[in-house]
């Protein structure tokens, strides 16, 4: 009887240990991406632009929304063209007839600015004069910026 009770206790402890080990922990699966964006942001410290800076010199910029088409359809900054992040480096220069010698500055934005930070870094490496909108569309709206939507047209 003692052996049976002992075996039950051992089995119970083993099962509770296994179950504890398999419990889901709060894991931030985006942490590596966030770290990468932070690292890239540090390599391009003068490449960000605020909403106010953009509005003061609006004619100096070609505004490019790099969100996907479905995101763009929910609302965008007036005057923006939409080129999805996944196609940007390959198609944007050709579609806009841009070259590194152009005087107009390309201003990228996305929802929060993470994708535009990465795109800006790539275009800088390609020799273009580019910046990204600090805070992205969320920052634009938070700072009083208006967006174009299907209902506001």
Q: Which two tokens stand for residue 111?
A: 């929802």
Query: What is the set of domains in the chain, with CATH numbers?
Result: 46-142 (3.40.250.10)
Tokens linked to 132? 């990204």
The rounded distance, in Å, linking the Cα atoms of 118 and 44 is 10
The CA distances from residue 4 to 15, 23, 49, in Å, are 16, 28, 72
Measured CA to CA, the distance from residue 69 to residue 73 in angstroms comes to 6
pTM of the shown model = 0.78
pLDDT for the residue numbered 150: 75
Chain-centre distance for alpha carbon 140: 14
Question: How many Å separate Cα 37 from the centre of its chain?
Answer: 8
Rounded CA gap, 101 and 57, in Å?
A: 19
pLDDT of residue 24: 59
User: In this predicted structure, what is the pLDDT of residue 68?
Assistant: 95
Q: What tens digit of pLDDT does each residue of 75-111 get?
A: 999 999 999 998 888 888 777 777 777 778 999 999 9
Answer for the pair 116, 109: CB distance below 8 angstroms, yes or no: yes
Q: Using alpha carbons only, how large is the chain's radius of gyration in Å? A: 24
Q: How far apart are the first and last CA of the chain?
A: 81
Mean pLDDT by 10 residues, the chain (153 residues): 54 49 72 91 93 95 95 96 88 77 88 96 92 97 93 65
Burial class of residue 46, CB neighbours in 10 A (0-12, 13-18, 19+): exposed
What pLDDT, on a 0 to 100 scale, did the predictor assign at position 139? 96
pLDDT number for residue 51: 95
């Amino acid at each position: 009887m003692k052996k049976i009770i002992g075996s039950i206790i051992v089995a119970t402890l083993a099962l509770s240990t296994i179950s504890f080990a398999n419990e889901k922990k709060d894991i931030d699966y985006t942490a590596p991406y966030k770290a990468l964006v932070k690292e890239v942001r540090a390599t391009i410290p003068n490449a960000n632009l605020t909403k106010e800076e953009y509005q003061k010199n609006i004619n100096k910029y070609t505004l490019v929304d790099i969100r996907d088409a479905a995101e763009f359809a929910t609302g965008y900054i007036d005057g923006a063209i939409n080129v999805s992040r996944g196609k940007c480096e390959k198609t944007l220069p050709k579609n806009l007839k841009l070259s590194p010698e152009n005087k107009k500055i390309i201003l990228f934005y996305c929802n929060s600015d993470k994708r535009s930070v990465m795109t800006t870094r790539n275009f800088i490496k390609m020799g273009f004069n580019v910046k990204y909108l600090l805070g992205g569309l969320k920052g634009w709206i938070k700072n009083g910026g208006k967006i174009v939507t299907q209902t506001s047209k």
